[in-house]
Amino acid sequence: MNQTHFDTVIVGSGFGGSVMAYRLAEAGREVCLLEKGKAYPPGSFPRSPYNAHDNFWDPKEGRYGLFDLWSFHRIHALVASGLGGGSLVYANVLVRKDEAWFVNENLSQGGYENWPVTRADLEPHYDRVEQVLSPKPYPFEFAPYSGTSKTQAFWTATKRAGLEPFFPGLAVTFANGDAAPVPGEPIHEAEPNLHGRTRLTCRLCGECDVGCNYGSKNTLDYTYLSAAARCGAELRTGCEVKSFAPRDVGGYTVTYVEHPLTAAGPADESAPSTSHTVTADRLVLSAGALGSTYLLLKNRIAFPRLSRRLGTCFSGNGDLLTFVRKRPNAQADPEMPAVIDPTFGPVITSAARVGDALDGDGSSGRGFYLEDAGFPAHLAWALQVMAAPGPLLTLLSQRFLWDWTGKGADPRLPSQLARMLSGNTLAGGVLPLLGMGHDVPDGRLRLRAGRLDVDWNRRASKDYFKRARATSQRVAQELGATFADNPIRYLNRLVTVHPLGGCPMGRNEEEGVVDSYGEVFNYPDLCVVDGAMMPGPVGANPSLTIAALADRCADRLLEKRRRG
């Protein structure tokens, strides 16, 4: 912690920041990565309600946990704080952005997005990132994976609805090398990870979105950040960047607060937060779409020549969460599982793509992906308890009747207890469906009374959301199930786990805040490399595209240094 000048300071350790840290450190640059959250070794993700209580990010209340929830007027956004950023809670799906969805609209004539890169530009970078994150399709052909009933239900229902389901790449380790997959085996790693702990192959527990306690996810801490640390990058956790400004001699000064965290443990409340300053030849903001845009907006006074496009192109990547619920007395369907146990298997196993007018294959409207989802067993138990009062009352009144009438009652309860656990279509019969796709990026991030705010509503994307919802309804129908919206929709709000934009790429400062390599127009060696640089929705799950863009940005930075 003593060094105060670096070649590069990186703010944030998500998909943008981690790739940059590794690539620059590997090339011999002195890198310091500042991450506001803590490190999460295997076993450190909270599970009990008591510990979950502190698992939110709110330093002013003394909370330094994983979940950072933002609530804006029409949209809520969930992101993560921790070493590895969103990878710690993501559902592991890595899909390349569709070639036709690198849209080129004329912004001065009412268009919304104009991508200065193409799929071909990103192809080698997608390849390189995939080599590190090792996505693999869900091994459904092997037992016990073949018993994943939500996968079976999703495939049958989407096929009947005329869609083509597929197994997307999941950045999860199911097996050692080419061996057959086995749950819960020690993973053989070529090099030790930064936590110095043994990881286990996926145990199918459905907890990917609350942090994997077995280290089965190939998250950024086990991959890029471990490699960056081995190359000498300094990873400082609990360090929240507050301000930065250009230096007269070139480069940037960065001021951050060090929070009183103990590694992976609760905050040490007796210790005060301390303020520190470091300097760097180049500064990379990778604090996520909300974090990086917020930092630039807050520090705008030090950057008077920033593009007026700052804050624009915000989108929730078309996120739409809905639910299908099996009817309690649905007729037996030989192709459908009797229960949809959403707690078995990784959170997402499968996807189906719905075409877009841009595909040029006769599709109309805006396209999207539909994916199955799951939830952890502790949530299923909570749902079970919610449904329990009925059977519990029956049991108690039966016993009361037996006692009162004096008739001999069977004193053994197993079957009655078993009945209390059966037939709950909330815990065992719900299939969450995640839609995401090509919505209209017309939101704007700004500061209101010093706080981040979003001007966004779904008006421009009304047809998109209607279409995504109607498709989910059709899938529910094919399952013989009832369809339910996310309850929050009734408050005219949406929830996104994929906030994007705010510092969009462009060909010049009229079009964007940064160029296609993430460098801020008019401010050499200041970069934004993360979801904020998207000029529109990725459409598919965005992490792989963020990482591929970061890999491309790192190439350019290194090339520039060699030339300079």
Q: For binding to ligand SF4 (CB under 6 A), which residues are involved?
A: 172, 202-208, 212, 214, 216-217, 346
In 3D, which of 170, 85, 18 has the Cα closest to residue 550?
A: 18
Closer CB to ligand FAD, 40 or 337, in the complex: 40
Task: Please measure the distance between the N-terminal and C-terminal CA atoms of the chain and give it in whole angstroms.
Answer: 29
Looking at the Cβ atoms of 285 and 347, the one nearer to ligand SF4 is: 347
Given a contact cutoff of 8 angstroms between Cβ atoms, the answer to whether 115 and 535 are in contact is: yes
Least Å distance, CB 256 to ligand SF4, is 31
- In angstroms, rounded to a whole number, what is the distance separating the alpha carbons of residues 431 and 434? 10
346 binds, among ligand SF4, ligand FAD, none (CB under 5 to 8 A by kind): ligand SF4
CB of 526 to ligand FAD, least distance (A): 15
* Separation of alpha carbons 375 and 435, rounded Å: 16
Minimum CB distance to ligand FAD smaller for 135 or for 365: 135
Compute the least distance from the CB of residue 414 to ligand SF4, in Å. Answer: 30
444 binds, among ligand FAD, ligand SF4, none (CB under 5 to 8 A by kind): none
Which H or E element spans position 384? helix 377-387
Tokens of 120: 């071909």
Among ligand FAD, ligand SF4, none, the one that 207 touches (CB under a kind-dependent 5 to 8 A) is ligand SF4
Give the span between the Cα atoms of 445 and 534, in whole angstroms: 14
Contact of residue 212 among ligand FAD, ligand SF4, none (CB under 5-8 Å per partner type): ligand SF4
Minimal distance in Å, beta carbon 214 to ligand SF4?
5
Strand 57-58, strand 239-246: pairing: unpaired
Site residues for ligand FAD per CB under 6 A: 11-16, 34-37, 78-82, 85-86, 89-93, 209, 240-241, 286-289, 291, 295, 348, 497-498, 530-531, 541-543, 546
Pairing of strands 67-71, 75-80: antiparallel
Cβ proximity to ligand SF4, 89 vs 494, nearer residue: 89
Nearest CB to ligand SF4, comparing residues 217 and 444: 217
Name the binder of 79 from ligand SF4, ligand FAD, none, CB < 5-8 A by kind. Answer: ligand FAD
Q: How far is the CB of 188 from ligand SF4 (least distance, A)?
A: 17
For 372, the token pair is: 């199955």
d(C-alpha 553, C-alpha 20), whole Å: 8
Strand partners, 57: 64
115 binds, among ligand SF4, ligand FAD, none (CB under 5 to 8 A by kind): none
Identity at 341, one-letter amino acid code: D
Q: What are phi and psi of 514, to 5 degrees?
A: -125, 160
If contact means CB under 5 to 8 A according to the sort of partner, which of ligand FAD, ligand SF4, none does residue 542 touch?
ligand FAD
Q: Which of 456, 545, 529, 8 is nearest to 291 (CA)?
A: 529
